[in-house]
Amino acid sequence: MTRKPLVAGNWKMNKTTAEATDLAQQLSYRVDQAYEGVDILVCPPFTDLRSVYVTLDFDKSRIAMGAQNVYFEESGAYTGEISPVMLKEIGCSYCIVGHSERRGLFNETNDDINHKVRALQSHGITPLLCVGESLQIRQQRNALEFISDELRACLLGNPVAAADDLVVAYEPIWAIGTGHTATPEQAQDVCGQIREDLANIYSPEIAEQVRILYGGSMNEGNAALFAACPDIDGGLIGGASLDANKFMPIVDCFR
Ligand code: 13P
């Protein structure tokens, strides 16, 4: 089967509401029927979700919206947290989980992420699960084993029955925001192995359906190289997603 590519922008902690609305408008204006072959996703900060949703909805845009994090409980005394119920209501169809910045800066564990994946799935929100190794692990030549372990721990007991139940993003930590991308060969090696792992965890049929993205300093100059890799089905873009003139040429490489 052919998987529909997905290009996602992780805006991280950038864009005020006015700036986010402006960027959503610019993207929505450019995404016409010529983009039917690719899914496009933006993941703004929580405070921008409402205005970005209204902007995209008003334009009947094909661009989907996601969040960058979630807590796994539905409601209650969890000061500062946001639940999957809230994300669903505000119009999120995806949510990033397990980003290395959340793991590294906010001490998220595989176990936390496992709960988040389940909570999202049970509310019909597609988890965009990030995995990736540090430079030290890559230099020790343990990257493939590390990523397999991370993937299994985050997915343990979480069923995937259809393509929309999961997206995986391979984001080597040493490539994020550094300008040093993985080579297409390195990225393909890992993404190919993620697909094999998914075949073992679920089934070969499910592994063929789940989209696997590469993320880490992707830009308009290198995106085509990743798009040509058989197991890379799109990109998770940080810095270059903050400017429509930089994001759209990346989308163009995958459509
Ligand atoms: P950059 O594209 O800025 O390297 O960020 C990648 C990323 O972390 C997306 O989630």
Give residue 132 CA to ligand 1 midpoint distance, Å: 12
The two tokens of residue 7 are: 């290009």
pTM of the complete model: 0.97
Residue 1 confidence (pLDDT): 58
Residue 184, classified by CB atoms within 10 Å of its CB into exposed (0-12), middle (13-18) or buried (19+), is: middle
Helix (H) or strand (E) holding 44: none
pLDDT value, residue 76: 98
pLDDT(61) > 80: yes
180: amino acid identity, one letter:
H
Q: How far does the centroid of ligand 1 lie from the alpha carbon of residue 175, in Å?
A: 8
The answer to the question of residue 247 being in a domain is no
The answer as to whether 222 is a domain residue is yes
99 in catalytic set: yes
Residue 124 has pLDDT above 70, yes or no: yes
Residue 203 included in any domain: yes
Per the domain annotation, does 28 fall within a domain?
no
**Mean pLDDT computed over 33-56:** 97
Q: Which domain holds residue 205?
A: 6-19+33-242
Considering the domain boundaries, does residue 248 fall inside one?
Answer: no
Counting from 1 in the atom list of ligand 1, the atom nearest the Cα of 96 is 10
**Residue 122 belongs to a domain:** yes
Task: Say yes or no: CB of residue 172 within 6 Å of ligand 1.
Answer: no
Of the candidates 255, 151, 254, 157, the residue with the CA atom closest to the CA atom of residue 207: 151
Number of domains in the chain: 1
Average pLDDT, the chain: 97
What is the CATH number for 185?
A: 3.20.20.70
pLDDT digits (tens, 9 = 90+) for 190-247: 999 999 999 999 999 999 999 999 999 999 999 999 999 999 999 999 999 999 999 9
Q: What is the pLDDT of residue 2?
A: 86
Measure the N-to-C terminal CA separation of the chain; round to a whole number of Å: 16
What integer is the mean pLDDT of 50-64?
97
Angstrom CA distances, 236 to 18, 122, 204, stand at 23, 23, 24
Pocket of ligand 1 contains residue 217 by CB under 6 Å: yes
What was the pLDDT predicted at 62? 95
pLDDT of 111: 98
Question: Helices 143-155 and 184-201, interaxial angle, to 10°?
Answer: 40
pLDDT tens for 152-195 read 999 999 999 999 999 999 999 999 999 889 999 999 999 999 99
- Rounded mean pLDDT of 27-38? 94
Cα R_g (the chain), whole angstroms: 17
Please tell me the predicted confidence (pLDDT) of residue 231.
98
Given this model, what pLDDT does residue 135 score? 95
Is 170 domain-assigned? yes
Does 253 have pLDDT greater than 80?
yes
Name the burial class of residue 77, with classes exposed (0-12), middle (13-18) and buried (19+) by CB atoms within 10 angstroms of its CB: exposed
Q: What pLDDT, on a 0 to 100 scale, did the predictor assign at position 217?
A: 94
Task: Judge whether 251 lies within some domain.
Answer: no
Centre of ligand 1 to C-alpha 201, Å, is 27
State mean pLDDT over 64-87: 98
Q: Is the pLDDT of residue 21 over 90?
A: yes
Query: What are the two backbone dihedrals, phi and then psi, of residue 4, each rounded to the nearest 5 degrees?
Result: -80, 125
pLDDT at 179: 87
Q: Distances in Å between the alpha carbon of 72 and those of 38, 42, 50, 122, 212?
A: 30, 21, 21, 10, 23
Catalytic residue among 101, 133, 150, 171: 171
pLDDT at 220: 96
